């Protein structure tokens, strides 16, 4: 089976080509990702802990269902794919929140962030999600303020942006 080809992007966000996922990670190449904030009709946020086998930020908590964009994939369909793969959610309306850059020693990514409202059953992809549960926005803020709560740095940057925007 061929290795997943990830969309590489330039500083403007234009796709410049592709690379195998392992090469993108090894060389920390700038790439495109999607992230979806799942909320229920009461406004709670779905938070999960990543499995210890993830290739970046293993075992940390996150509130975004996220993943790399495959070469040739568009953001909206990629976000819908990630929701279905990781939580079993499909046929929901996705609302674009923002697109923005995040970079650290582990990743350089242009993230296309979305949100959706969902009240149905969830089916975790066992290879990606070790635990999940609903938190109110206030509970999420409290957890994020706790330095002992391990949270993915890119997810922290994007949820902080979302919370500052007044949509929380």
Long-range CB contact pairs, 4-13, < 8 A, 24+: 4/68, 4/70, 5/70, 5/71, 6/31, 6/32, 6/68, 6/69, 6/70, 6/71, 7/31, 7/32, 7/68, 7/69, 7/70, 7/71, 7/72, 7/73, 8/32, 9/110, 13/99, 13/110
Confidence (pLDDT) at 125: 93
Confidence (pLDDT) at 2: 81
How many domains is the chain built from? 1
- Tell me the average pLDDT across 120-145: 96
pLDDT tier at 80, thresholds 50, 70, 90:
very high
Which of 124, 103, 104 minimizes the C-alpha distance to 38? 124
Rg (CA), the chain: 15
What is the CATH classification number for the domain harbouring 61? 3.90.79.10
Q: What is the pTM of this model?
A: 0.94
Confidence (pLDDT) at 135: 98
Q: Do the Cβ atoms of 152 and 62 come closer than 8 Å?
A: yes
* Domain, as residue range, for 125: 5-164
Could you read off the pLDDT of 133-168 as tens digits, one per residue?
A: 999 999 999 999 999 999 999 999 999 999 998 554
The mean predicted confidence, pLDDT, of the chain is: 95
Strands of 26-122 (E only): list them.
Answer: 31-39, 45-50, 61-62, 64-68, 95-103, 108-117
Residue 63 has pLDDT above 80, yes or no: yes
């Amino acid at each position: 089976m061929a290795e997943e080809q990830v969309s590489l992007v330039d500083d403007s966000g234009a796709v410049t080509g592709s690379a195998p996922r392992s090469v993108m990670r090894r060389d920390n190449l700038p790439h495109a990702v999607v992230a979806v904030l799942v909320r229920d009709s009461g406004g709670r946020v779905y938070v999960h802990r990543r499995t210890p086998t993830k290739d970046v930020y293993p075992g940390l908590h996150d509130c975004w269902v996220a993943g790399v964009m495959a070469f040739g994939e568009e953001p909206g369909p990629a976000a819908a794919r990630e929701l279905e793969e990781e939580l079993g959610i499909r046929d929901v309306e996705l609302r674009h929140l923002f697109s923005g850059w995040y970079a650290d020693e582990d990743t350089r990514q242009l993230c296309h962030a979305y949100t959706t409202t969902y009240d149905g059953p969830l089916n975790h992809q066992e290879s990606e999600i070790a635990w999940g549960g609903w938190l109110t926005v206030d509970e999420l803020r409290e957890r994020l303020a706790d330095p002992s709560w391990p949270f993915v740095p890119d997810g922290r940057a994007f949820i902080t942006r979302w919370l500052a925007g007044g949509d929380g």
